[in-house]
Amino acid sequence: MSKIAFITGATSGIGRATALLLAEEGYDLIICGRREDRLKALSDEVAVRTLELSFDVRNRVEVEGAINSIPDAWKSIDVLLNNAGNAHGLSKIQDGNVDDWDAMIDINVKGLLYVTKALVPEMVSKGSGHIVNIGSIAGKEVYPNGNVYCASKHAVDAINNGMRMDLNGTGVKVSQVCPGLVETEFSMVRFKGDTDRSKSVYEGFDALTAYDVADLIRFIVTRPAHVNISDTVIFPAAQAASTLVDKK
Ligand code: NDP
Ligand code: 8X3
Ligand 1 centroid to residue 59 C-alpha, Å:
16
In short, whether 208's Cβ falls inside 6 Å of ligand 2 is no
Which of 88, 177, 186 most suits a substitution to test ligand 2, by most atoms within 8 Å of the C-beta? Answer: 186
Using DSSP, state whether 43 is helix, strand or coil: helix
What is the rounded CA–CA span in Å between residue 56 and residue 246? 37
Say if CB 176 and CB 135 are below 8 A apart: yes
Question: Does any ligand 2 atom lie closer than 6 A to the CB of residue 137?
Answer: yes
Ligand 1 centroid, distance to 84 Cα (angstroms) = 5
Mean pLDDT, rounded, for 48-66:
98
Terminal-residue alpha carbon distance, the chain: 49
**Closest ligand (CA of 179):** 1
Active site residues: 149
Helix (H) or strand (E) holding 29: strand 28-32
- Residue from 90, 140, 149, 239 to probe ligand 2 pocket by mutation (most atoms less than 8 Å from CB): 149
Span 5-16, pLDDT tens digits: 999 999 999 999
Average pLDDT over residues 64-87: 98
The pLDDT assigned to 245 comes to 98
178 lines ligand 2 (CB under 6 A): no
**Measured between alpha carbons, how far is 68 from 102 in angstroms, rounded to an integer?**
26
Q: What is the mean pLDDT of residues 125-140?
A: 98
| Domains, the chain, with CATH or none | 4-178+208-231 (3.40.50.720)
CA of 70 to the centre of ligand 1 (A): 23
Classified as helix, coil or strand, 153 is: helix
**How far, in Å, from the CA of 226 to the mean position of ligand 1?**
30
- The model's confidence at residue 166, banded by pLDDT at 50, 70 and 90, is very high
Mutate to test the pocket of ligand 1, among 56, 62, 148, 184 (most ligand atoms within 8 A of CB): 184
CA 186 to centroid of ligand 1, rounded, Å:
6
Give me the chain's average pLDDT, please: 98
For 36-47, how does the pLDDT look when each residue is reduced to its tens digit (9 = 90+)? 999 999 999 999
Per-residue pLDDT at 1 exceeds 90: no
The stretch 18-40 carries a mean pLDDT of 98
Label residue 138 by pLDDT band (50, 70, 90): very high
In this prediction, residues 98-105 reach a mean pLDDT of 98
Ligand 2 atom showing the smallest separation from residue 153 Cα = 5
Is the pLDDT confidence value at 102 over 90? Answer: yes
Average pLDDT of span 120-146: 98
Phi/psi at 64 (5° precision): -65, -40
